[in-house]
Structure 1
Amino acid sequence: MARTESKMLALGTLAPEFSLLDTISKQTLNLHALNGEKGTVIMFICNHCPFVIHVNPEITKMAIEYRKKGIHFIAISSNDVENYPEDAPQFMRIKAKAENYTFPYLYDEDQSVAKKYDAACTPDFYLFDDKLKLVYRGQLDDSRPGNELPLNGKDLRNAIDNLISGKEIDPMQKPSIGCNIKWKKNS
């Protein structure tokens, strides 16, 4: 299992716009239709990565909990499905249902959105405020497959809670670690 760190996009960056296929609803959705009243979490994930499989229960739980507080979650998969067919849209839809995702699971076929966000790994987490300005990027928490640390989302939860309550978010943030995004050969 390869361990790749997120690249840590500069805080204050405006969320790049996108319109992508939602594999759950089978509709094309865009960022401005999906963003939350108080903030938006954008996650780059995929079906097969052991790091994503490990965090799925917590991200599903957090999405339900924070939606009531004005924070929306959006998942995007940008993997090359020619070489990683288990990440194809039809399987994304199955995964979303199996994991009880309550958020859109978008397919970035040409990988342009991952490039705009400078995403490097799965999972890769970004928290944007109500003006779609980046206030947090990094890990969910310290838990990784096999390290026996609790899966509790503490890093991302702390950032979201501070955003909601108007408190400063610590700019010292730990990068996420996961599988590298599976880039197409011509990318």
Structure 2
Amino acid sequence: MARTPSNIIPLGTIAPDFHLKDTNSNNEYSFEDVKGSKGTLVIFMCNHCPFVLHVLPEIIMIANDYRVQGLGVIAISSNDIEKYPEDSPELMTEFAFENKIDFPYLFDKTQEVAKAYDAACTPDFFLYDNQDLLFYHGQLDDSRPNNGIPLSGSDLRSAIDALIYNRSLNEQQKPSVGCSIKWK
């Protein structure tokens, strides 16, 4: 299980737009379609990564807790499905159903969206404000598979609370850590 950190991206960077197919609904979505009135959380993830599987229950709770408060939530898988067929769109649909993911789970076939975001790992969290500017790019919390620290979502939840309630946010943000995106 290789540990790849997320890339450092300047806060205030504008969210790249995209048009990708949702494996849950077969609809195509853009950033504009999924953005929330308070902000938008873009999560790069996949079906097979042990880091994603570890944090998925907390991701789903965060989505459920904050969407009602005006946060748009979307997940994107950009992995090469030739080398990692377990991340195919058909299996993404199944994965979303089995895990009760009811936010869009998009497939980035060309990997252009992951490159535009400079995503590096799964999970990789990008939180944008209501002006589509990067507000937070960091970890969910300190929990990792097998490190004994319980999931809390504390880092990401603090960032979302700061965004929604107009609080200041610590400029020091710990990068997310996970499996590398499987590039073609």
TM-score category (smaller protein): over 0.9
> Offset of 1:169 from its aligned partner?
1.3
Q: Which digits, 9 at most, give the CA deviation of each residue in 1:73-129, with x for residues without a partner?
A: 110000000000000000000000111112100000000000000000000001000
The one-letter amino acid paired with 1:83 is: K
Gap regions ≥5 residues in structure 2: none
The match for 1:157 is 157
Q: In 2, distance between residues paired with 1:157 and 1:76?
A: 20
Q: Distance in 1 between matches of 2:67 and 2:83?
A: 35
* Gaps in structure 1 of 5+ consecutive residues: none
Are 1:133 and 2:121 counterparts? no
**Between Structure 1 and Structure 2, how many residues are aligned?**
184
The superposition leaves residues 125-146 of structure 1 with CA deviations (integer Å, 9 ceiling, x where unpaired) of 0100001100100100000000
TM-score (norm: length of structure 2): 0.99
Matches within 5 A, 1:110-129: 110-129=110-129
Q: 1:72 maps to which residue?
A: 72
Deviations 1:14-63 (A, max 9, x none): 00000001000011111101100001000000000000000010000110
CA shift, 1:150, in A, is 1.3
The list of structure 1 runs, each at least 4 consecutive aligned residues, that deviate by more than 2 angstroms after superposition, is none
The reply to whether residue 183 of structure 1 matches residue 180 of structure 2 is no
Greater mean alpha carbon deviation, residues 41-50 or residues 162-171:
162-171
Q: Tell me the TM-score normalised to structure 1 length.
A: 0.97
Task: Provide the identity percentage.
Answer: 56
Instruction: Name the SS for the 2:20 alignment partner.
Output: strand
Superposition RMSD on alpha carbons, in Å? 0.5
Supply the distance in 1 between the matched residues of 2:76 and 2:161 (Cα, whole angstroms).
23
